[in-house]
């Protein structure tokens, strides 16, 4: 055997060994990945119909991100309100009881079960979106809320936000507290409780029934969300006075509530993926609403809505009633009494820079641009 033959034989053995080793590594890697990423299918009822495009954007983003990050192995199917679960508190209850694996909703719809549910979504005269997220993500809010949510049966992750809402549509102008006496208004939860102290009679009405109730005069006013969604519902046609600001919803955080047993059973990487998908969706959903709402407001005004602002008399009375209500709720709910001090301290300690920085800048630039 020549040196050349020996070298050729050795080379073939080496390359063959590399190929075998590579094939073996690939065959070992694939089962490991498959075991780490089981196939999972969940159902996700929502608090709105699928026709509410601004909210559906958020839901679709979560579904898409989770699927892409798991190579299609973790699938979540969304269902509009009423498709598999009725609206209101029933959406969250389905996830708490395990009827569905998760729920995409505003927790304040369950305010009647325990007022502490409101903290996840919004409180009257609370922080706007930046302050709310600061409390949730970096000042203890998430930990406190999940202690509460888990006691009820879910683990929850923020996944979107309406941003600042409007004060709703009124059939007649309201300028004084007296104008609110006896006024029947569609407004749920804590906002409705505070409004009741101003003489308003809160009405619990599902989204699809608001327009006919306004048209027939069964109710005198109704709040929903921001200008884009408000315009699509057409309330201005039967209740032309459009009020701001929506002091009872300075933001409204949507959460993905996952049944606690289902959450605990998820592989750790799937838990991390679900959290990442939801928190990323907070950003895109907020951005979507910021893009849509100025255009929505222009559409409302050009189609006959009459923009009005709540008077200082009404705002002051509502503010006082809100914080008095907060103190009262501490005696009725153990969870409220535990969470409220953290929420209130965050407000007290962290609004200074918003006043000095953001508010000063915005007041100047908005006045300048309007004049321009």
Domain residue spans in the chain?
38-162+251-290, 168-249+295-332
Q: Residue 207: what pLDDT?
A: 78
pLDDT in tens, 206-223: 878 999 999 999 999 999
What six digits make up the tokens of 343?
């929420």
Strand-pairing partners, residue 257, are: 103, 156
d(CA 259, CA 152): 9
Kindly state which CATH superfamily the domain 168-249+295-332 is placed in: Periplasmic binding protein-like II (3.40.190.10)
What does the pLDDT average to over 134-150?
Answer: 98
Q: How far, in Å, CA of 127 to CA of 347, rounded?
A: 7
What does the pLDDT read at residue 206? 80
Taking only the tens place, the pLDDT of each residue in 240-295 is 999 999 999 999 999 999 999 999 999 999 999 999 999 999 999 999 999 999 99
CATH number, domain 38-162+251-290, options 3.40.50.970, 3.40.190.170, 3.90.79.10, 3.90.1310.10: 3.40.190.170
Q: Does the CA dihedral 231-233-238-244 come out positive or negative?
A: negative
Query: Measuring CA to CA, how many Å separate 176 from each of 48, 124, 243, 313, 361?
Result: 33, 19, 13, 6, 31
Treating both helix axes as pointing N-terminal to C-terminal, what angle do 312-329 and 189-196 enclose, rounded to 10 degrees? 110
Give the tokens for residue 140. Answer: 């203890």
C-alpha to C-alpha distances, 141 to 137, 145, 151, 325, nearest whole angstrom: 7, 6, 16, 21
Give the sign of the dihedral formed by CA 241, CA 245, CA 251, CA 257. negative
Q: Do domains 38-162+251-290 and 168-249+295-332 have the same CATH topology?
A: yes
Mention every residue, 6+ apart, whose C-beta is less than 8 A from residue 237. 304
On whether the pTM is more than 0.95, the answer is no
Q: Token digits for 267?
A: 């592989």
pLDDT value at residue 188: 87
Range 201-237 burial, b when 16+ CB lie within 10 A, else e: bbbebebeebbebbeeeebbbbbbbbbbbbbbbebbe
Quote the percentage of the chain above a pLDDT of 70.
90
């Amino acid at each position: 055997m020549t040196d050349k033959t020996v070298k050729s034989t050795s080379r073939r053995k080496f390359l063959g060994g590399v190929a075998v080793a590579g094939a073996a590594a690939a065959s070992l890697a694939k089962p490991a990945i498959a075991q780490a990423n089981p196939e999972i299918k969940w159902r996700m009822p929502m608090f709105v119909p699928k026709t509410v495009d601004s909210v559906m954007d958020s839901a679709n983003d979560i579904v898409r991100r989770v699927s892409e990050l798991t190579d299609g192995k973790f699938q979540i199917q969304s269902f509009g309100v009423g498709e598999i679960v009725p609206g209101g508190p029933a959406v969250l209850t389905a996830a708490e009881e395990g009827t569905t694996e998760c729920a995409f909703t505003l927790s304040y719809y369950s305010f009647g079960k325990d007022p502490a549910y409101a903290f996840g979504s919004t409180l009257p005269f609370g922080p706007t979106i930046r302050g709310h997220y600061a409390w949730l993500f970096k000042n203890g809010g998430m930990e406190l809320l999940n202690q509460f949510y888990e006691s009820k049966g879910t683990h929850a992750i923020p996944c979107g936000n309406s941003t600042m809402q409007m004060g709703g549509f009124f059939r007649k102008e309201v300028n004084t507290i007296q104008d609110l006496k006896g006024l029947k208004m569609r407004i749920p939860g804590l906002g409705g409780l505070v409004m009741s102290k101003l003489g308003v009679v809160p009405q619990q009405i599902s989204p699809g029934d608001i327009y006919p109730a306004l048209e027939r005069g069964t109710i005198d006013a109704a709040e929903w969300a921001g200008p884009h969604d408000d315009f699509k519902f057409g309330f201005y046609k039967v209740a032309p006075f459009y009020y701001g600001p929506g002091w009872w919803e300075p933001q409204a955080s949507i959460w993905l509530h996952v049944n606690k047993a289902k959450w605990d059973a998820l592989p750790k990487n799937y838990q991390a993926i679900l959290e990442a998908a939801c928190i990323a969706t907070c950003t895109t959903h907020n951005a979507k609403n910021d893009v849509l709402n100025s255009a929505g407001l222009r559409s409302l005004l050009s189609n006959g809505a009459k923009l009005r602002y709540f008077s200082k008399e009404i705002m002051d009375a509502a503010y006082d009633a809100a914080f008095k209500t907060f103190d009262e709720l501490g005696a009725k709910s153990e969870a409220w009494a535990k969470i409220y001090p953290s929420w209130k301290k965050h407000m007290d300690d962290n609004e200074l820079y918003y006043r000095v920085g953001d508010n000063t800048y915005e007041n100047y630039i908005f006045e300048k641009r309007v004049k321009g």
